[in-house]
């Protein structure tokens, strides 16, 4: 049987994998492929609709530039072209060519101004739109890249690279349906592209079309089984589909590839806990905890919390000492209190009550308004009070007073769940003391805060007892 609370923890790790880098980077550097480089120095005016025509002056200029390039005098070329540049009067082809050489020299930011100038002078300049769009993709300015890339399509420059980059921009802007349409079109032109397939899969994941995403990722895995990202993305799709065994299998493969990071190992451990296989989870957790880099103190505590909340007490006791030894010195006061509270729960569960009570009493001194700690310690006193009722009434009264004192303190906290629980348990002690009328008041307050059927039935029984004792 699945344990939803632990599954929630597991899904948090899954989110970490996805959101740590929400969109996979392009594997193929589109802006450095031969076609892109070639476009920088292509001829002008052949397609008059999308290329500016050049006059005799520009022809002479480009001939001079060609001679300089034979001697690799690119800086002189840039200076020459800058001398010919004019915001109003220079030919768009000059501005475009200058921008291209600035890109070749790595002066990307400066080049953008000249591409924009070329576009202002010749609005249908396809190559200028494309190059500027590519540069803005490279910079991560996806919203600025989109208008230029879409313009290229409108001007007849449709191709897999353009549609793929449009999809990539939409994906980064979280416009998943538009991105999916663009990726599908890109794959018509370039059916073997891993980038566009992965983009399509990410869109399907974001749109919660998990079976389709799993199918696309299976294709990618078949194309490149050594790519861990494909296995991880598919693991997330399996998780979202509640196919935990399949998710675990993917993560295990990544682990066997020696490519698993801390997050994927922790996620695998969480899934094993959810599948009620804690003996498989512990090695994953221990490996992370003992690794050279380790994990944050927050994540270390979270490991023991997952095990405790799933009542895997033996496994929790296995990892607790190592966490305390390695991470304890770095705990914040709040983290130290949280860890010690969990450790006390584990000790109680393993029937090591003296150690647990000692730990809780120390915690109450350090953190007197910790609701969970107050309930745990009060619960212990309440349990021993019930045991003492049949043998030592004086001791029972002392224990009841201790429990009630802690419950009253918890009742003053803002947390409604803690408050309701404290009121209910206080009422239960009063019932065992046969103070039924008083008990009713506490039970009513508890039920008003957190109504539940079982408590309502119990309250009705106590009311009847109160009425009987009055009569």
- Rounded to an integer, the average pLDDT of 185-203 is 94
Q: Is the pLDDT of residue 29 over 60?
A: no
Last residue of a domain, one of 96, 130, 157: 157
CATH number at residue 463: 1.25.40.10
Task: Point out the domain boundary residue: 157, 186, 207.
Answer: 157
Range of the domain at 408: 368-471
Residue 360 maps to a domain? no
Tens-digit pLDDT profile for residues 148-173: 999 999 998 889 999 999 999 999 99
- With respect to residue 196, please indicate whether it lies within any of the assigned structural domains: no
Quick one: angle between helices 142-154 and 126-139, nearest 10?
A: 160
> Per the structure block, which two tokens stand in for 400?
């009841």
Count CA within 13 A, CB hemisphere, residue 315. Answer: 25
Asked if 236 and 244 touch (Cβ cutoff 8 Å), the reply is no
Tens of pLDDT, residues 274-333:
999 999 999 999 998 888 888 899 999 999 999 988 899 999 999 999 999 999 999 999
Q: Is 213 within a domain?
A: no
Output the DSSP codes for 2-54.
--HHHHHHHHHHHHHHHHHSSSPPPSS-GGGSHHHHHHHT--SSSSTTTS---
Q: Is residue 294 part of a domain?
A: no
Distance CA 13, CA 267 (A): 5
Query: 254, 238 in Cβ contact below 8 A?
Result: no
Residue 121 banded pLDDT, cuts 50, 70, 90: confident
Q: Are 284 and 269 in contact (CB under 8 A)?
A: yes
Q: Which band of pLDDT confidence, cut at 50, 70 and 90, is reported for residue 234?
A: very high
If pLDDT is split at 50, 70 and 90, which confidence band does 40 have? Answer: very low
Count of structural domains, the chain: 2
Any long-range contacts for 88-92 (C-beta under 8 Å, 24+ apart)? 90/117, 90/121, 91/52, 91/54, 91/55, 91/58, 91/121, 92/52, 92/117, 92/118, 92/119, 92/121, 92/122, 92/125, 92/128
For the segment 363-378, what is each residue's pLDDT rounded down to a tens digit? 999 888 899 899 999 9
> Given 157, 173, 192, which residue is the final one in a domain?
157
Query: Could you tell me if residue 39 is inside a domain?
Result: yes
3-class DSSP state of 392: coil
- Specify the residue for token string 């002189």: 76
Write down the pLDDT at residue 46.
42
């Amino acid at each position: 049987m699945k344990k939803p609370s632990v599954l929630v923890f597991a899904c948090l790790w899954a989110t970490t994998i996805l959101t740590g880098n929400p969109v996979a980077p392009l594997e193929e550097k589109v802006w450095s492929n031969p076609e892109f480089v070639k476009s920088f120095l292509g001829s002008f005016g052949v397609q008059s609709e999308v290329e500016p025509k050049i006059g005799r002056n520009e022809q002479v200029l480009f001939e001079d530039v060609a001679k300089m390039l034979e001697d690799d005098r690119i800086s002189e070329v840039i200076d020459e072209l800058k001398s010919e540049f004019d915001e109003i009067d220079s030919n768009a082809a000059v501005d475009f060519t200058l921008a291209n050489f600035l890109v070749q020299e790595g002066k990307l930011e400066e080049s953008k101004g000249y591409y924009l100038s070329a576009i202002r002078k010749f609005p249908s300049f396809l190559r200028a739109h494309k190059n500027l769009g590519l540069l803005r993709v490279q910079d991560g300015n996806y919203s600025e890249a989109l208008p230029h890339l879409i313009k290229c399509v409108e001007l007849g420059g449709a191709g897999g690279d353009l549609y793929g980059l449009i999809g990539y921009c939409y994906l980064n802007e979280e416009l998943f349906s538009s991105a999916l349409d663009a990726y599908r079109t890109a794959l018509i032109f370039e059916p073997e592209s891993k980038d566009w397939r992965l983009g399509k899969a990410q869109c399907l994941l974001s749109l919660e079309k998990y079976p389709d995403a799993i199918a696309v990722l299976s294709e990618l895995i078949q194309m490149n089984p050594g790519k861990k990202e494909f296995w991880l993305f598919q693991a997330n799709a399996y998780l979202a589909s509640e196919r935990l065994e399949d998710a675990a299998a993917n993560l295990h493969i990544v682990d066997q590839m020696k490519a698993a990071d801390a997050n994927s190992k922790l996620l695998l451990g969480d899934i094993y806990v959810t599948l009620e296989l804690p003996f498989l989870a512990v090695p994953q957790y221990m490996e992370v905890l003992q690794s050279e880099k380790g994990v944050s103190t927050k994540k270390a505590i979270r490991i023991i919390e997952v095990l405790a909340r799933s009542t895997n007490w033996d496994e929790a006791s296995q990892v607790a000492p190592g966490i305390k030894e390695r991470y304890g010195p770095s705990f914040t006061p709040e983290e130290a209190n949280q860890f010690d509270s969990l450790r006390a729960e584990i000790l109680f569960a393993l029937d090591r009550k003296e150690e647990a009570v000692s730990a809780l009493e120390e915690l109450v001194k350090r953190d007197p308004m910790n609701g969970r700690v107050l309930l745990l310690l009060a619960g212990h006193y309440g349990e021993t009070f019930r045991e003492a009722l049949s043998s030592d009434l004086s001791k029972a009264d002392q224990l009841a007073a201790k429990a009630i004192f802690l419950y009253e303190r918890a009742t003053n906290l803002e947390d409604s769940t803690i408050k309701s629980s404290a009121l209910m348990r206080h009422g239960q002690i009063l019932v065992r003391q046969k103070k039924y009328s008083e008990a009713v008041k506490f039970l009513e307050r508890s039920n008003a805060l957190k109504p539940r059927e079982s408590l309502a039935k119990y309250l009705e029984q106590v009311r009847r007892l109160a009425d009987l004792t009055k009569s």
